[in-house]
Chain A
Amino acid sequence: MKQISKLLFVFLVFTASLHLNAQEITITGTVTSAADEAALPGVSVVLQGTQKGTLTDFDGNFSLEASKGDVLLFSFVGMASQAITIGDASQINVVLLEDTESLDEVIVTALGMKKEKKALTYSAQEVKGDELTRVKQTNPINSLSGKSAGLTITRSSSGLGGATKVVLRGNASTVNNDPLYVIDGIPMMNSGNGSNGEEPGTSVFGGQTGNRDGGDAMSMINPDDIESISVLKGASAAALYGSQGANGVILITTKSGKEGKLTVNVSSSLTFDNVVSLPELQSQYQSPSVGQPVAENGRVPDAKSWGDKTSGLTNNYAEDFFNTGYTSIQSVSLNAGTQKAQTYFSYANTYAEGVMPENRMVRNNLNIKETALFLDDKITVSAGVNLSDQRIWNRPGNGLYSNPLTGLYLNPVGINLDNYKDFEYFNNATNMMDQYATSFDENIQQNPYWLINRNPSKDIAQRVLANVNVKYQITDNFSLQSRGSFDKTFFTFEKQMYGGTDLTFAPATGRYISEKTENTQQYIDLIANYNTALSEDWNLGVILGTSMTKYKIGDQIHLDSGLGGLKYPNEFMVQNFLSTNDLRQSVTNRELQSVFGSANIGFKNMLFIDITGRNDWSSTLVNTNSTSFFYPSVGLTGVLSEMFEMPESISFAKIRASYAQVGNDIPAYATVPLNSVPLGSSGVIPATFAPIEGETLEPQKQNSFEIGTEWRFFSGRMGLDFTYYDTKTTNQIFYIQAEPNPYGYTQNIVNAGEISNKGIELTIDAKPVITDAFNWNTAINFATNDNKVISVHPGLDNGTAIITAPGVNGYQYALVEGEDFGSIQARSVVRNENGLPIVSDDGATLERTDFETVGHAQPDFTLGWNNNFEFGNFNLSFLVDAKFGGEVLSLTESINDFYGVSQATANARNNNGGMIDVVNASGTASQIAAQDYYNQIGGRAGLLGEYIYDATNVRLAEVALGYNIGYQDRFIENIRLSIVGSNLFFFYKDAPFDPNIASSTGMGLQGIDIYGQPSTRSIGFNINVNF
C-alpha cells in the first residue's frame, strides 16, 4: 500500500507538470448539419484522450480551452463523427454529415474480434463500463440485471462476495447453464471454491457446516476496470467458442492505456446496506416456556410458541440482530501512453461489513496492462497482470444447519433473546465454556450469537490472471495473433466450531475444517486473420485458428476433524485431529484442443454471410466413440436500408438469421470409473455411477436458430432490436436413478432428453428529448422464454428426472416431461370444491397429495426499463427491473409456522376461535386447531405446496443522481458526485422474501428460500475525480 501511494504521488506530480507546460487557447466555432445547413445543438465536443469537453448550445456554438496540436472530436447521434486537429486558428466551424451508418458501431465478438454491429448475424448487446459502475456492486455481474434482454441474474443469498447465477435465454442443460465468461478474448475460469465437481448447495439442510457459497471468479473483478461487457446470447454468437459457449458468452473488455496525455481517475464510493423483506414474526402468543425456570445452559422447557395470548410482548429481535452494513470502494486508475506504448494501471480496495454481525470482507485488486507497438507498428504486444486478494469473514450461508437465522426467527416468543447475547456459560462438569441456548431439542435451533461468535469461518481467495497478446500485422490485410493466459486462484477455507456447538455438527471437543483449493487454467491460441476486397462489391474475411486449454479445477486438500473430534478441545489445528475419516484430496483435470475457422463475406456493405466451424477434442470423451466433435454455424444479414429506398424517418434497418449447432463435452472422469475412498469413511468403494450397460456417452448437442431485426428511426434517435430464437438441446447429460444392476451403481449417467427454449427478446431505446439543457435516454429490455422439457430418459418410468430428491424433507426439484424446466414438487393439502381442507376419518389428519409439481422457478418474462436524464451538470438515472411469472417456495415460512412464531399463525389463532375449518371425507364440516393444522403443513417435511408464492416482482433496482463539476485549465479536470441507491423498493411483490435471491447458484435448490440472508437495500455516495 505504501508503495502504491508513492507511485501514485509520482504520477500525480508528473501529471501536474505536463499541465503546466501546455499553452492553452480558447477555441470557438459553430457546428451545422450538412443536410439542411441548420445549426446543431447538443453536439459533443471533446478533447481527444481526455474527459474534457462541452456541448454546443442551441445555435450550434461552442467554446473551450485547448492547445495547439490537440484533437477535437465532434459527435452527435445520427451523424458521422469528426476529428479536427487544432492548428493556429482559434475559430473552427464544423459541418457534420448525416450518417445512415451510425451503426458502424463496433462491437467485440467471439475471440475478442471487433466487428461492425451491422454485419452481425445474431443478437449481441453491449453494456458500457460507466453503466456498470454508476451504481457499484461488489460483483460487477449483478449490475447487468435489467440492462440486457434475455439475461436473468439471480444473486446468492450469501451477501458479500457471493456468487451470481447468470442464465442466458433460459436453462437448457441439466448439468450446467452458466455462460462462458471471456476476458479480452480469452475464456476465463469462473469456478468458485466449493463448486468442485459438486453442485454448491443441493441440500435443504445445508450440510453440517452450512450451505457454502464459495463465490465465483467474476466477483473478484474490479468493476472500474471494465470498459464494456458484450452479451452474446445465442449459440450462433458463441459458435466459435464451440463446446464452452453453448450457454452463451459474456465478453468482458477491460480498459487499456490510451494514447494521449496522462490521466488519473480516483473514485470513492460508500454505500450503506439495510435488510428488507424480513419474515413477519408474531408478538401476541407466547411460548409456554415464559415464566418457567430456565436451565443453567439456557434451555427453556418448550421451544415453540403455541402458548397463551398475552399483551405487551415484543419480538423485534430479528431487526435488532442485523446491522447496517456498508461497502466502501476506493479505486484509482492511471492511464498514460504515447503512440508507441500505453499503460493502464488500477488499484481498488473494497472494505465491507455485512448486515450479518461479524461478516466482513476486504478485497484488493491490482491491474496493470501494457501495450506496445514494434516494427513500424506492425507488431502489437500487450500484456496484463491482474491480482486480487479477497478475504471474507463469516460468509453467511443458508439452509437449516449451522445458520444463525433459524435460531433467530424461531426464538420462543416472550423469551428475551437479549439474555442470550451472552451466548456461553461456564460448564462446571467440563471445566470449559459451553453454549447457552434456549433449545437443544432441535439441532436447527442454536443460539444465533453462539454461531456467529463460536463458529467463525474465513474464506480467502487470491487470484492471478496474467495474459499476453501478440499480434503481427504482416500485411495490411493479413495478421497473425497469438494469445496466452494463465489464470490461477487459490482458495483457503477455514472454519472453527467450538465445543458446545450442537452435537450433530461438532463433538464436545469442537471441530476444525481447513481446506485449500487451487483452480488453474492455461490457455493458448494462434489465429490467422485475412481480409480482402475480392472485387468492388465483394469483401472476404477469413479466420483460422487453433487453441488449447488445460484446466485443473478444484485441486483440493480437505482436512476436517469431523465428528471424530479434537484431542484437546478448541485447539484448531490439524495435528489435534482424532480421526482421519474426513480427509480428502480431489481434483478435476480437463483438456480441450480446438481448431476453428470462419469466413465472412460481405456484398456491397448490405449483405453479409457468416460461416463458422469448430472442432473440439476433449479429454473427457476418452472411452467414448470419439473424442472429437464438430460444430458449424451459418448466418445471414441484410441491411434493408442499404438495399431499398427507405422513408426519411428510417435511418437504418436490417434483418438477420442464423443457425448454429454447438455442443458440450461430458463431465470429467465419467468414462474412467475408479474405486475411491469416500469422505467420512475409511473403506474403498467402486464408482457409484456408470453409463447404462451397453451404452456410451456423447457430447451434448444444441441446435439453435434465431432471426432478428434492427431498426433505427429519426436519425437514430429511436431504435428497436427484435430477436426470436428457437433452441433445442439434445443428448443431455443426465444422472438418473440407475436401472437395476448387480454392481450397485446408484446412478446411471446417460445422454438423453430434449429441452426446448423458444423466446423473444426486444430492446427499444430512444432519446425522446435532446436539447442543450436537457437530455433523456431511455431503453426497455423485454424478454420471454418458453422453456419446456420435451423428454427425459426413456428409462425413467414416469418421465421425471429427479435433481434434488426430497429424502426426509418436503421439497423435490425435478425435470418433468411436458413441463417447464425445473419443477418444484411438494405435497399439498387436499381440498374440496370450496377450498376447505379435507381430513381423514379421525378428524385430525389432513388428507395430502403425493409429491406433485407446485411451481416452476423460471419467470415467464422479464422487463428492464433504464432511464438517464441529463440537465446541465446534473445526471439522473434509474432502472426498473421486473420479473413476471414463476414461483418460489419458502421453507422459512413453513418452519416459522411450525414453530408458531410467524404472524400467519397468530392471525390464524386470532380468527375463527383459533380453529381452521375443514371437512371430513364424507363432507361433514368440522374444525381443527390452528396448531394441529400448522403442525401438519409446516416444518421441513410439511405440505410445502401450501408455501408456494408467485415470484412476480417489480422493483426499483437502481437510482443514481450525479453532479459534474468541470474545471477548465485546472489540475483537476472533472469531479463527479453522485448519490446512488440499489434495490430500493418493490412496486409489487407477492413472496415473503426477495425472489431475486437464490438459495444456491447451483442447479439443485432453485426457487426455494431456506433461511437465506434477507435482501438488502443500499444507499450511498460516489465521488469520481479526474485529473
Chain B
Amino acid sequence: MKKLLKYTLAAAMAVSLASCTGDFEDINTDPYGISDESLTQMNNHIGSKFEGMFLNVINATPAWNYQLQQGLNGDVYSGYMTPPTPFAGNVNNMTYALVDGWNNFIWSDAYNVGTIMPSAKDIKDKVALAGDPNGVKFVYLANIIKVTAMQRVSDVFGPIRYTKFDDYATTGEYDAQDVAYKAFFAELGTAIDGLKAFENDTQFTAFDMTNFGGDITAWRSFANTLRLRLAMRVVNADPALAKAEGEKSLKSDAGFLTDDLVVNTGFIHPVSVISGSWGDVRMSAEMESILTGYGDGRMEKYFNPASDPALNGAYKGIRMGVEIEAKSEYGAHSAVGEVIETETITWMTVAEAHFLMAEAALRGWSEAGDAKSHYEMGVKASFSQHGVGGADVYLADATSTPADFVDAINTANNIAYPSDVKIAYNAGGTNEEQLEQIITQKWIAMFPDGQEAWSEFRRTGYPRVYPVVVNNSGGAIDTDIQIRRINFVSSEKNTNGANVEAAVGYLNGADNGGTRLWWDVAGSNF
C-alpha cells in the first residue's frame, strides 16, 4: 500500500510537471482569427468596418442574398423586373403571399454582424476609444452610409430599431418611422456640416470602395442629395419638415451629386447572376410598356431582346403576380441587359439629383431652380450615364405614350397603360401631371434600384404600376391599392416579441403588407 502511494505520487508529479493548464488560452484561440488589437494596424479597426457597410446597403454577394433582400420585393413591386419562376408553387411575394423566409434578409442585411448597424456602432465606439478628435470624420461617413441603408429598411417595414440601437439595454426597441426619419435628418445634417472641416483629409481613401476614392467633398454632396431624397419622401406626411430639410439641402454649400455614386464591390452585379446564370428574373410589363411606348434608347442597355424565337427579337416583359405554371412559359422573355454587367452597384445617380430638384422646384421650394430644366438635365444625365445618344430628340417627343401591355402567353393578363404621360415636359400641366412626368422619368433613370423606385411609387403613385393578377394575401393587401410594406420579420418576432408588438402599435394598421407607412399618405400629392 505504501508502495502504491509512492508510485501514484510519482505519477502525479510527472503529470503536473509535464503539463499545466496555463497554455489553455493559447490553445483555445483560433489561430486564423484576427484580434481587435491586431486590427488597429493601419486603422483597420475602423476602416475594415466600412466594407461590410458598402457591401450590404445593396447586398453585393452572394446573389441569392440580394435576391431576397431586394430582388424578390422592391425590384418587382417597383414594376422593374418580374421573375418567370413560380417559386413555391407561385404562392410567394409576387402573388402577395409574403414569404417570411425570404424577407428576413431585408432585415438581416442591416442588423447582422458585419452589416450596417453593428458596423456603424463599432466605428463610433472605436473612434471614441481612440480619443483622436480627427476620428470623428469616420463617424460622419459611417452615419451617411448608415442612413442610406436604414432609410431603405425603414421604407420596407416602417418602424425600425434605430435611435436606441447602440445601447444594450434598449437595443431591442423600435422607433416609429417619423422618429427614425427625424434621426436620419439630424445625422445627415451633422455629417454634412461636420465633414466640411475634413475636405482635404485623405484618411478615408484606403477604405472608400466607391468611385469617390475618399473625396470628402464628394461625400458631402452625396449626403446633401440624400437629404433632399429623404425630404421629398416625407412631403405628404409632414410638408413643413420636408420643406425645411429640403431647403437646407438646396442652400447648402455641399452642393449636389456631380458624379453617380458607384460602389466597386468586386463581385459581379447580383442581378446579372439572377437574370443570367439562374434565369430567375426578366423584364417587367411596365418597363416594356413605357420603354417601347417611348421608343426609349436606354431599353437596349437595360434589357436584351427575348430569346424565345417566337417573339422575333422583341423586348418582352412579364406582368407581376400572374399565374405561372412553369418557368419555361416566360423564361425566354427579355433578360436584364448590360446595365448590370459590371462589378459595381450604383447607389445614386446625378439624374436622380436633378429629378429631386425638379420636384422641389415644382413644389416651390426656394433656390430649387426651374422644374423643366432640371427635368431635362435629369433625362440627359441618364442618357449619358448609359452612353445613349439622342436625348434632345427624345425630350422633344410630345406625342409618344406608354404602350398597352400584351401578354405573349396568356391574353387574360393584357392590360392598358392607364395614363398617356408623355416625354416632353409640359410646364403648363397640372402639378400632378408634371409630377407624373418627373417621377416616370426618374423611375426610368433609377433602374435597376427597385427598392427606391418602389418607395417613390408608393409615395406618388407614379409611374402606373400594373396590379397583380393573382392575389394570395388572403385579403390583407388590396389588389388595386397594391402592396404598401412588408410585415415584420420572423426572427424578430421569435426573439424580440414584445418590442415588435410595440412597433406594430406605431403602424396605421395591422402588421401586414396592406398597411401604409407613415410617409405614405393616400390621395393627392399636393
Residues of A with Cβ closer than 8 Å to B? 301-304, 306, 439-443, 474-475, 478, 480, 502-504, 526, 528, 530, 542, 544, 546, 548, 563, 581, 584-587, 589-591, 593, 595, 617-623, 627, 668-669, 671-672, 674-678, 680-688, 693, 737-746, 795-798, 800, 805-810, 840, 842, 845, 848, 898, 931, 935-939, 941-942
* Other-chain contact of A685, B52, B172, B328, B470 (Cβ < 8 Å): B52
* Chain B proximity of A203: nearest CB distance (Å): 12
Chain A CB within 8 A of B277 CB: yes
The residue of chain B having its C-beta at the shortest distance from the C-beta of A689 within the complex is B113
* Other-chain contact of A304, B24, B161, B328 (Cβ < 8 Å): B328
Given A591-B23, A684-B48, 20 extra CB contacts under 8 A: A441-B279, A478-B3, A478-B4, A504-B278, A528-B8, A581-B266, A587-B30, A589-B27, A622-B24, A622-B28, A627-B24, A674-B30, A675-B48, A683-B48, A686-B122, A740-B161, A740-B492, A741-B171, A742-B118, A935-B86
Q: Are B168 and A742 in contact (CB under 8 A)?
A: yes
Q: Are A739 and B496 in contact (CB under 8 A)?
A: yes
Contact with A along B27-65 (1 / 0, CB 8 A): 111111111100100001000100110010000011010
- 27 A-B pairs, CB-CB below 8 angstroms? A441-B327, A546-B15, A548-B19, A581-B266, A587-B32, A590-B27, A595-B12, A617-B21, A619-B21, A619-B23, A619-B27, A622-B25, A668-B30, A671-B28, A672-B29, A672-B33, A674-B30, A674-B35, A675-B33, A684-B51, A688-B114, A742-B167, A743-B113, A796-B494, A808-B87, A810-B88, A935-B86
Residues of B within 8 A of A618 (CB): 24
* Other-chain contact of B34, A526, A530, A674, A938 (Cβ < 8 Å): A674
Also in contact, A683 and B117, with CB within 8 A (given A528-B8, A587-B31, A627-B21): no
Chain A CB within 8 A of B101 CB: yes
Chain A CB within 8 A of B393 CB: no
Q: How far is the CA of A301 from the CA of B88 in the complex (A)?
A: 21
* Other-chain contact of B51, A581, A683, A840 (Cβ < 8 Å): A683
Residues of B within 8 A of A737 (CB): 491, 494-495
Q: How far is the CA of A621 from the CA of B133 in the complex (A)?
A: 40
Of the listed residues A672, A688, A745, the one surrounded by the most CB atoms of chain B closer than 10 A to its CB is A672
Q: Are A528 and B118 in contact (CB under 8 A)?
A: no
Contact with A along B166-178 (1 / 0, CB 8 A): 1110011000000
Residues of A within 8 A of B277 (CB): 443, 502-504
Residues of A within 8 A of B7 (CB): 474, 478, 480, 528
Residues of A within 8 A of B15 (CB): 526, 546, 548, 593, 595
A-facing residues in B1-29 (Cβ within 8 Å): 1, 3-4, 7-8, 11-12, 14-15, 18-19, 21, 23-25, 27-29
Chain A CB within 8 A of B431 CB: no
Chain A CB within 8 A of B99 CB: yes
Chain A CB within 8 A of B331 CB: yes
* Other-chain contact of A684, B44, B88, B168 (Cβ < 8 Å): B44
The residue of chain B having its C-beta at the shortest distance from the C-beta of A289 within the complex is B328
Also in contact, A797 and B101, with CB within 8 A (given A544-B8, A669-B33): no
Contact with A along B77-116 (1 / 0, CB 8 A): 0000000001111110000000101100000100111110
Residues of A within 8 A of B273 (CB): 503-504, 563
The residue of chain A having its C-beta at the shortest distance from the C-beta of B68 within the complex is A808
Residues of B within 8 A of A584 (CB): 32
Chain A CB within 8 A of B499 CB: yes
* Other-chain contact of B325, A671, A796, A935 (Cβ < 8 Å): A935
* Chain A proximity of B523: nearest CB distance (Å): 29
* Chain A proximity of B322: nearest CB distance (Å): 13
Q: How far is the CA of A584 from the CA of B277 in the complex (A)?
A: 26
The residue of chain B having its C-beta at the shortest distance from the C-beta of A690 within the complex is B113
Also in contact, A304 and B326, with CB within 8 A (given A546-B11, A546-B12, A672-B29): yes
Residues of A within 8 A of B493 (CB): 797
The residue of chain B having its C-beta at the shortest distance from the C-beta of A795 within the complex is B495
Q: Are B34 and A684 in contact (CB under 8 A)?
A: yes
Q: Are A675 and B35 in contact (CB under 8 A)?
A: yes
The residue of chain A having its C-beta at the shortest distance from the C-beta of B50 within the complex is A683
Chain A CB within 8 A of B364 CB: no
Residues of A within 8 A of B278 (CB): 443, 503-504
Q: How far is the CA of A108 from the CA of B337 in the complex (A)?
A: 70
Q: How far is the CA of A871 from the CA of B124 in the complex (A)?
A: 84
Residues of A within 8 A of B29 (CB): 669, 672, 674
Also in contact, A808 and B99, with CB within 8 A (given A528-B4, A668-B28): yes
Q: How far is the CA of A526 from the CA of B44 in the complex (A)?
A: 49
Residues of A within 8 A of B33 (CB): 669, 672, 674-676
* Chain A proximity of B2: nearest CB distance (Å): 11
Q: How far is the CA of A800 from the CA of B497 in the complex (A)?
A: 14
Q: How far is the CA of A463 from the CA of B355 in the complex (A)?
A: 68
The residue of chain B having its C-beta at the shortest distance from the C-beta of A741 within the complex is B171
* Chain B proximity of A914: nearest CB distance (Å): 14
Residues of B within 8 A of A593 (CB): 15, 19, 21
* Other-chain contact of A681, B61, B113, B121 (Cβ < 8 Å): B61
Also in contact, A586 and B32, with CB within 8 A (given A304-B328, A797-B494, A840-B472): yes
Q: How far is the CA of A941 from the CA of B28 in the complex (A)?
A: 40
Chain A CB within 8 A of B276 CB: yes
* Chain B proximity of A28: nearest CB distance (Å): 51
Residues of A within 8 A of B331 (CB): 441
Q: How far is the CA of A141 from the CA of B425 in the complex (A)?
A: 79
Residues of B within 8 A of A301 (CB): 328
Q: How far is the CA of A937 from the CA of B90 in the complex (A)?
A: 11
Q: Are B89 and A938 in contact (CB under 8 A)?
A: yes
Q: Are B39 and A797 in contact (CB under 8 A)?
A: no
Chain A CB within 8 A of B165 CB: yes
Q: Are B117 and A808 in contact (CB under 8 A)?
A: no
The residue of chain B having its C-beta at the shortest distance from the C-beta of A743 within the complex is B118
Q: Are B496 and A669 in contact (CB under 8 A)?
A: no
Q: How far is the CA of A685 from the CA of B278 in the complex (A)?
A: 29
Q: How far is the CA of A743 from the CA of B119 in the complex (A)?
A: 8
Q: How far is the CA of A631 from the CA of B355 in the complex (A)?
A: 72
Chain A CB within 8 A of B428 CB: no
The 4 A-B pairs with the shortest beta carbon distances in the complex, nearest first, are A674-B33, A744-B118, A503-B277, A685-B114
Residues of B within 8 A of A745 (CB): 113
Residues of B within 8 A of A685 (CB): 52, 113-114
Q: How far is the CA of A669 from the CA of B34 in the complex (A)?
A: 13
The residue of chain B having its C-beta at the shortest distance from the C-beta of A620 within the complex is B28
Also in contact, A742 and B117, with CB within 8 A (given A674-B34, A937-B89, A939-B88): yes
Chain A CB within 8 A of B387 CB: no
Q: Are B91 and A845 in contact (CB under 8 A)?
A: yes
Q: How far is the CA of A530 from the CA of B3 in the complex (A)?
A: 10
Q: How far is the CA of A631 from the CA of B102 in the complex (A)?
A: 46
The residue of chain B having its C-beta at the shortest distance from the C-beta of A941 within the complex is B88
Chain A CB within 8 A of B131 CB: no
Chain A CB within 8 A of B429 CB: no
Q: How far is the CA of A618 from the CA of B118 in the complex (A)?
A: 32
* Chain B proximity of A162: nearest CB distance (Å): 29
The residue of chain B having its C-beta at the shortest distance from the C-beta of A628 within the complex is B21
Q: Are A935 and B21 in contact (CB under 8 A)?
A: no
Q: How far is the CA of A758 from the CA of B171 in the complex (A)?
A: 42
Also in contact, A746 and B113, with CB within 8 A (given A502-B277, A807-B101): yes
* Chain A proximity of B306: nearest CB distance (Å): 14
Residues of A within 8 A of B121 (CB): 742-743
Also in contact, A797 and B325, with CB within 8 A (given A548-B19, A941-B89): no
Residues of A within 8 A of B111 (CB): 744
* Other-chain contact of A688, B86, B113, B495, B499 (Cβ < 8 Å): B113
Residues of A within 8 A of B68 (CB): 808
Residues of B within 8 A of A687 (CB): 113
* Other-chain contact of B11, A440, A528, A591, A795 (Cβ < 8 Å): A528
Q: Are A805 and B51 in contact (CB under 8 A)?
A: no
* Chain A proximity of B470: nearest CB distance (Å): 7
Of the listed residues A542, A795, A935, the one surrounded by the most CB atoms of chain B closer than 10 A to its CB is A935
Of the listed residues A589, A622, A684, the one surrounded by the most CB atoms of chain B closer than 10 A to its CB is A684
Also in contact, A941 and B87, with CB within 8 A (given A526-B15, A622-B24, A797-B493): yes
